[in-house]
């Protein structure tokens, strides 16, 4: 267990954006059969998702969220010391997407910018990185962008085809004189490498004419080696083994209890996992907000998306003690306890290609 405590930072604003195109499980009735689709919906809890059309990237969603947040919060763009883009869906192999984002957001050239490749645990890791830059490197304001377009999977693979949604988010982390503490617990187990993976398309196994071909896999699913494979049983076993332990560790380290935490905002893996974990950890269901019914599993963006969807009214008005917990691909996991509230939180943004074209024309 990696343990870190950071003082003198605060979350000052959160914004979330999704594509404006909503999709529903019924679209798969003809492909998988109505009974099978409804069974998947019952297990995952995903009743609706927003999917990016061709030409819309995770960075576009993050830029839309950041633009709205900076404008509503009246933050000067020159005040941003660093921008972190945390995603598994970069625009290009190179250059890194944060450089393009810096230009598009009109941030100063003195702004540090870099990408981080992380998924399900990413929001906690991103807060830890942003807090470390402020507490240890003298920066004052960091723009943390989190998002993925995870729906680019095989529509012939029932294990993933109805699960993921696309989203991008923006969080302002800044220096404060108050002594409230962020307590982090982080962990990694690389043995999970093969359980959630896109096997081909990069340096380990470069793309070629064979890696792009869809072939029949387990249970009649079809995918290519350049499309996501998920071993649901292994992911579930990992989650049950590590997440309750992670939550207990961060509560002890921060001297909190299940009763003193207002909300446990967890990565939106699927409904069954979230409900099982809440029961296992003896957390009342009302303390575990769920957004995946509306947005699906949005990977690295799922925690801020859940806050925007479920907690926006409360977080705009008052401070609350929260626990964020992310877990999944890698395997990796991370949790943090912190006090958040009285922050800038715009309503959910629904981004269209037309909105993007108008922005680019300005």
Tens-digit pLDDT profile for residues 253-289: 999 999 999 999 999 999 999 999 999 999 998 999 9
**Given this model, what pLDDT does residue 27 score?**
97
Same domain, 309 and 324: yes
Same domain, 151 and 171: yes
Label residue 189 by pLDDT band (50, 70, 90).
Answer: very high
Q: Tell me: the pLDDT tens digits for 74-115?
A: 999 999 999 999 999 999 999 999 999 999 999 999 999 999
Active-site residue, 120 included: yes
Residue pair 87/148 in contact (Cβ under 8 Å)? The answer is yes
Same domain, 352 and 335: no
Same domain, 353 and 221: no
**Given this model, what pLDDT does residue 356 score?**
85
> Quick check: 361 pLDDT over 70?
no
The active-site residue, picked from 62, 111, 297, 338, is: 297
Same domain, 19 and 146: yes
Please compute the mean of the pLDDT values over residues 166-193 and round it to a whole number. Answer: 95
Domain that holds residue 8: 2-178+346-361
> Quick check: 360 pLDDT over 90?
no
The full 3-state SS of the chain, as one line of letters, equals CEEEEEECEEEEEEEEEEECCEECHHHHHHHHCHHHHHHHHHHHCCCCEECCCCCCCHHHHHHHHHHHHHHHCCCCHHHCCEEEEECCCCCCCCCCHHHHHHHHCCCCCCCEEEEECCCCCHHHHHHHHHHHHHHHHCCCEEEEEEEEECCCCCCCCCCCCCCECEEEEEEEEEECCCCCEEEEEEEECHHHHHHEECCCCCCCCCCCCCCCCCEECHHHCEECCCCCEECHHHHHHHHHHHHHHHHHHHHHHHCCCCCCCCEEEECCCCHHHHHHHHHHCCCCHHHCCCCHHHHCECHHHHHHHHHHHHCHHHHHHCEEEEEEEEEECCCEEEEEEEEEECCECCCCEEECHHHHHHHHHC
**Given this model, what pLDDT does residue 18 score?**
98
Same domain, 140 and 245: no
Same domain, 337 and 350: no
Active-site residue, 297 included: yes
CA-to-CA distance for 38 and 41, rounded, in angstroms? 5
The active-site residue, picked from 267, 270, 309, 338, is: 267
Same domain, 273 and 159: no
**Given this model, what pLDDT does residue 229 score?**
93
Q: Which of 9-18, 46-55, 339-348, 351-360 has the lowest mean pLDDT?
A: 351-360
Same domain, 192 and 232: yes
- Residue 96's domain is classified under what CATH number? 3.40.47.10
Same domain, 7 and 137: yes
The active-site residue, picked from 57, 62, 120, 338, is: 120
What is the four-CA torsion angle of 238, 240, 241, 242, rounded to 10 degrees?
A: 80
Same domain, 75 and 26: yes
Active-site residue, 117 included: no
**Given this model, what pLDDT does residue 120 score?**
95
Total count of domains within the chain? 2
CA-to-CA distance for 27 and 23, rounded, in angstroms? 8
> Quick check: 235 pLDDT over 90?
yes
Residue pair 161/222 in contact (Cβ under 8 Å)? The answer is no
Same domain, 202 and 271: yes
Exposure letters 156-193 (e unless 16+ CB within 10 A, then b): bbbbbbbbbbbbbbbbbbbbeeeeeebbbbbbeeeebe
């Amino acid at each position: 267990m990696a343990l870190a405590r950071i003082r003198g930072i605060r979350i000052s604003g959160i914004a979330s954006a999704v594509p404006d195109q909503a999709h529903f499980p019924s679209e798969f009735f003809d492909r998988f059969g109505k009974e099978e689709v409804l069974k998947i919906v019952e297990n995952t809890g995903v009743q609706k998702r927003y999917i990016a059309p061709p030409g819309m990237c995770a960075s576009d969603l993050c830029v839309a969220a950041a633009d709205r947040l900076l404008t509503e919060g009246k933050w000067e763009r020159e005040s941003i010391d660093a921008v972190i883009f945390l995603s598994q869906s970069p625009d290009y192999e190179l250059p890194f997407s944060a450089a393009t984002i810096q230009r598009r957001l009109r941030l100063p050239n003195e702004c540090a910018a870099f990408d981080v490749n992380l998924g399900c645990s990413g929001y906690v890791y991103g807060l830890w990185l942003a807090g470390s830059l402020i507490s240890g490197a003298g920066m004052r304001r960091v723009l943390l962008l989190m998002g993925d377009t995870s729906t680019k999977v095989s529509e012939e693979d029932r294990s993933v085809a109805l699960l993921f949604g696309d989203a991008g988010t923006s969080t302002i982390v800044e220096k404060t004189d108050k002594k409230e503490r962020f307590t982090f617990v982080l962990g990694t187990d690389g043995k999970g490498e093969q359980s959630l993976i896109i096997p081909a398309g990069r340096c380990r196994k470069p793309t070629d004419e064979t890696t792009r071909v869809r072939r029949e896999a387990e249970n009649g699913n079809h995918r290519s080696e350049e499309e996501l494979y998920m071993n649901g049983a292994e992911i579930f076993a990992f989650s049950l083994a590590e997440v309750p332990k992670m939550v207990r560790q961060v509560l002890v380290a921060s001297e909190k209890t299940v009763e003193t935490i207002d909300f446990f905002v967890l990565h939106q893996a699927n409904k069954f996992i979230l409900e099982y974990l809440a029961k296992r950890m003896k957390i009342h269901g009302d303390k575990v907000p769920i957004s995946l019914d509306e947005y699906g599993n949005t990977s690295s963006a799922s925690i801020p998306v859940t806050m925007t969807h479920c907690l926006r009214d409360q977080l705009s008005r008052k401070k609350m003690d929260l626990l964020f917990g992310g877990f999944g691909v890698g395997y990796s996991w991370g949790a943090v306890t912190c006090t958040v509230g009285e922050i800038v939180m715009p309503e959910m943004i629904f981004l269209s290609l037309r909105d993007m074209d108008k922005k680019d024309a300005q």
